[in-house]
Chains A and B, each alone.
Chain A
Amino acid sequence: MADTDEDSVYFIPDNSWFPIGIAVGLFLLVFGLGSWLNEIKAGEEPSLVAFYAGALIFAVVLYRWFAAVIDENLAGLPNARVKRSYVWGIGWFIFSEAMFFAAFFGALFYTRVLAVAWIGGEGAKGVTGDYLWPEFETAWPVVNNPDPSVFANPRESMAAPSIGNWLNYLPFWNTVILLTSSVTVHFAHTAIKDEAQGKMTLWLGVTVLLGILFLILQVEEYLEAYQELGLTLSSGIYGSTFFILTGFHGFHVTLGTFMLFIQLLRGMRGHFRPHDCFGFEASSWYWHFVDVVWVGLFLFVYVF
């Protein structure tokens, strides 16, 4: 492999309308979304044309772009060095995603360890908290907000029960599902390496189903939070951190499941070779990443 690198020419794609297409789609999408949010806030009838047009353009161009890259690969245009660029690309993209979650984990840590304690009157910065809300007591999860007239208290939190009762605890099962799916996606990878098409389809299919199952349970959990526990986005800092962390994670699971589903379709068409399955590998690395984030979530949002 390495020697062909030095001799063959690095593949530079011809001029392409994909980037400008994505830029236009992205612009319409966020402009539409912003207008939508502002119109809701102002109590106006939202106009969603820009949003849907943007989403449509974005999706179509992205589809065409990925299709073009796959065709180029099937035609043998990119050499090993180009594929190494792809690997660097997805690797550092995942790193940037990790930093996005780090911002929310940081917010959780800061509010939970420092801010809530200070509002409760503890430590060097406690004086202000004591003055503003003398009744507020430091506790986590925060089920009694400093000012419940502004941020309504939830009836209950999502905190984990003692370990003996985990079998009835939904997030525990979600953890089991995601950890299992990381293993099944690895089996699918091994199947590609062994050129076992049937096994690959089986294990990748199982992984996608586990992803969907996770999402269904997550929806179930959200319904319970909103309808039974009174735990919403606007029920204070506990609800804020809970929903932003689990919500963005759920969004990433959705994306990851979709990516793996596409790889399943591609695998069934015979796109993958033992040493040439970057699309699959990138999706599976992304899936492992989503899994690791969940472990962090389970520990710091639910258990501790």
Chain B
Amino acid sequence: MSDAVQDYAHEVVHEDHGPAKGLRRWLFTTNHKDIGTLYLWFSFLMLLIGGSMALVVRAELFQPGLQFVDPQFFNQMTTNHGLIMVFGAIMPAFVGLANWLLPMMLGAPDMALPRMNNLSFWILPFAFGLLISTLFMEGGGPNFGWTFYAPLSTTYAPDSVTFFIFGVHMMGASSIMGSINIIATILNMRAPGMTLMRMPLFVWTWLITAYLLLAVMPVLAGAVTMMLFDIHFGTSFFSAAGGGDPVLFQHIFWFFGHPEVYIMILPAFGIVSQIIPTFCRKPLFGYDSMVYAVASIAFLSFIVWAHHMFTVGMPLAGQLFFMYSTMLIAVPTGVKVFNWVSTMWRGSMTFETPMLFAIAFVVLFSIGGFSGLMLAITPADYQYHDTYFVVAHFHYVLVPGSLFSIIAAVYYWLPKWCGKMYDEGLGKLHFWLSFVGVNVTFFPQHFSGLAGMPRRIPDYALQFADFNMLSSIGAYVFGFSQVLFLYIVIKTIKSGEPATGRVWEAAHGLEWTLASPAPYHSFTHPPKVVLAEAHS
């Protein structure tokens, strides 16, 4: 009898500290690690769905002529590929990483607002369910490109655009709540001694990213709201016949859109700044300048938006302003690349899988940055605009940029999350397949773009055939090597070798002072932070 009571008491205490059982754990959780896991698996699912859409596009473009899909469906594929990758894969993956890592890095027990944290996640499956369901509606899904320019997305849109608009509203609500949570966590939950300038760079980049999200997601909500009113209530925001202007849509969209692309890269900067020092066995070169560079990039992101619309018809003064402000971004970005390279200089480097992805990030992201500079030159942009050169540019910053950083982060912190080591040989194989695949896919697109191949078109002239065939082969190699990634992660969780608490020989930061796997509640009582453990 007394034994039973004790067992029960033990059970209660245990439940207080451990996860609930079964589905309830995931539906009702308030734990940052559970929510982080949900975000990461969700984003991986979206990566596979959005990636499959890209493979439909690449299959159609394998040869000139129309072979597999109807042009209308092709448009739906390019549109939904973009929307799902941006809002469903990259952004939630970074939020998932923030959920897992911020409390551990700051010495906090959890995120600041745990229930709202769960709400931010659970809105997403519904939002994307709504978005993907439009593909099966009468008239088809969104087919106007991920930038949904009016009047394509208003006057000429399929009826399902209404659900697309509400889907975007839901994603925005999720992002805003997520950002509020991240800001409150970083500003309010730091352990004693964790001053702002001692925070790991991943935390810094997410703090600034959260501010960007708070500033621009509501503007996107405003843009789609005006679309909704133009479609259903007869307003004329984007119709010149009533005194509005379709170009107004582009201004509002890109006022959101340019900070948005930095939302997708700043946390990547943070991840790479954590990984490179560990595998160079040296502290990060120029920590302070890294923080200031990220802040400068974030500020500049608000005053460059119209470089996406040089050809739309803008006064000359506007074109010049946006050209010069855009070029200015190269300065803080250059500071960052310089610092990463300087961190490597004379370090005792080793090349484990996270480091390989991080180095590939630095090199390939820089290529994407340089093609961005080319696009910033207004007169040159008249030639490049809406060609595959633009596609090559933003895929270089998003795939071997953002996505590689996320993959690097998973390899780097997975042993901390699940307490087991991944298979290094398979990890390296995954890296080389991805590295070759991504370059074979996107490098030729620079050439077809410069030669004038337009984007978002299911057919092309014969002279682009070779580059496109190459590109499609690369895309399938890259796509299927992500299935290998799934296998590696599952294998690690199921049967990996046990990992130590420190995991990596030279890893610095509070998360490495915890056991592997990290306890369910990271730091119930805040640790005292010394500089050596503060950041790497």
Contacts and interface: CB of A to CB of B under 8 A. Distances in A.
Q: Taking chain A's interface residues, is the majority helix, strand, or loop, or is none over half, making it mixed?
A: helix
Interface of B: 20, 24-25, 27-30, 108-110, 112-116, 118-119, 121-123, 126-127, 129-130, 159, 162-163, 165-166, 169-170, 173, 176, 179-181, 183-185, 187-189, 192, 214-219, 221-223, 225-226, 228-229, 231-237, 239-245, 247-248, 251-252, 255, 313-316, 521, 524-526
B292 to A, nearest CB: 23
Nearest to A97: B218
Given A17-B28, A146-B242, A233-B233, A30 B170 contact: yes
Contact of A16 (B30, B126, B159): B30
Contacts of A10: 108-110, 189
A93 B241 CA distance: 36
A116 B130 contact: no
A74 B229 CA distance: 44
A145 B181 CA distance: 46
26 contacts: A15-B28, A15-B30, A17-B27, A17-B28, A19-B115, A19-B121, A20-B118, A23-B119, A24-B126, A27-B130, A41-B231, A81-B188, A85-B188, A88-B188, A89-B116, A96-B180, A96-B215, A99-B215, A99-B216, A100-B221, A114-B245, A145-B236, A146-B243, A151-B234, A239-B235, A244-B229
Contacts of B114: 12-13
Contacts of A75: none
Nearest to B220: A103
Nearest to B252: A103
B237 A237 contact: yes
Contacts of B176: 93, 96
A265 B165 CA distance: 37
Contacts of A34: 162-163, 165-166
Interface string A77-92: 0000110111011001
Closest 5 CB pairs of A and B: A103-B222, A234-B234, A237-B243, A151-B242, A19-B119
B162 A107 contact: no
B295 to A, nearest CB: 17
A226 B333 CA distance: 53
A295 B237 CA distance: 23
Given A125-B315, A146-B242, A240-B229, A92 B115 contact: no
A290 B245 CA distance: 28
A176 B185 CA distance: 39
A43 interface: no
Nearest to B249: A107
Contact of B166 (A33, A88, A115, A244): A33
B189 A93 contact: no
Nearest to A12: B110
Given A99-B214, A233-B234, A244-B226, A18 B248 contact: no
B179 A92 contact: yes
Contact of B28 (A20, A102, A232): A20
B192 A6 contact: yes
A40 interface: yes
Nearest to A40: B232
A106 to B, nearest CB: 6
A168 to B, nearest CB: 28
Contact of B219 (A24, A102, A110): A102
A26 B30 contact: no
B169 A233 contact: no
Contacts of B166: 30-31, 33-34
Which of A10, A33, A151, A238 has the most chain B CB within a 10 Å cutoff? A10
Contacts of B215: 95-96, 99
Contacts of A6: 192, 526
A106 B179 contact: no
A107 to B, nearest CB: 6
B30 A13 contact: yes
B236 A240 contact: yes
B222 A26 contact: no
Contact of A236 (B169, B228, B236, B245): B236
Contact of B162 (A37, A92, A102): A37
B316 to A, nearest CB: 7
B313 A125 contact: yes
Contacts of B221: 100, 103
A163 interface: no
B170 A26 contact: yes
A167 interface: no
Contacts of A48: none
B315 A124 contact: yes
Contacts of A45: none
A89 to B, nearest CB: 5
Which of B180, B225, B226 has the most chain A CB within a 10 Å cutoff? B180
Contacts of A103: 218-219, 221-223, 226, 252
Given A34-B162, A115-B245, A244-B225, 9 more contacts: A12-B521, A26-B173, A88-B188, A107-B222, A116-B243, A234-B236, A236-B236, A239-B235, A240-B242
B242 A9 contact: no
B255 to A, nearest CB: 7
Given A34-B163, A99-B219, A244 B235 contact: yes
Nearest to B35: A19
Contacts of B235: 233-234, 239-240, 243-244
A53 B234 CA distance: 28
B244 A12 contact: no
A302 interface: no
Contacts of A104: 222, 226
A123 B170 contact: no
Contacts of A23: 119, 122-123, 126
Contact of B130 (A31, A151, A241): A31
A132 B240 contact: yes
B237 A107 contact: yes
A172 interface: no
Given A19-B119, A23-B122, A89-B113, A95 B214 contact: yes
Contacts of A221: none
Interface string A110-147: 11001110110001110011001000000000100111
A26 B126 contact: yes
A147 B241 contact: yes
Contacts of B187: 88
Contacts of B526: 6
A234 B118 contact: no
Contacts of A125: 313-315
B30 A145 contact: no
A150 B241 contact: yes
Nearest to B234: A234
A180 to B, nearest CB: 28
B232 A146 contact: no
A268 B325 CA distance: 55
Contacts of A106: 219, 251-252, 255
Nearest to B159: A38
Contacts of B127: 27
A285 to B, nearest CB: 14
A49 B240 CA distance: 37
B232 A92 contact: no
Contacts of A26: 123, 126, 170, 173
B24 A15 contact: yes
Given A124-B315, A146-B243, A27 B118 contact: no
A20 B27 contact: yes
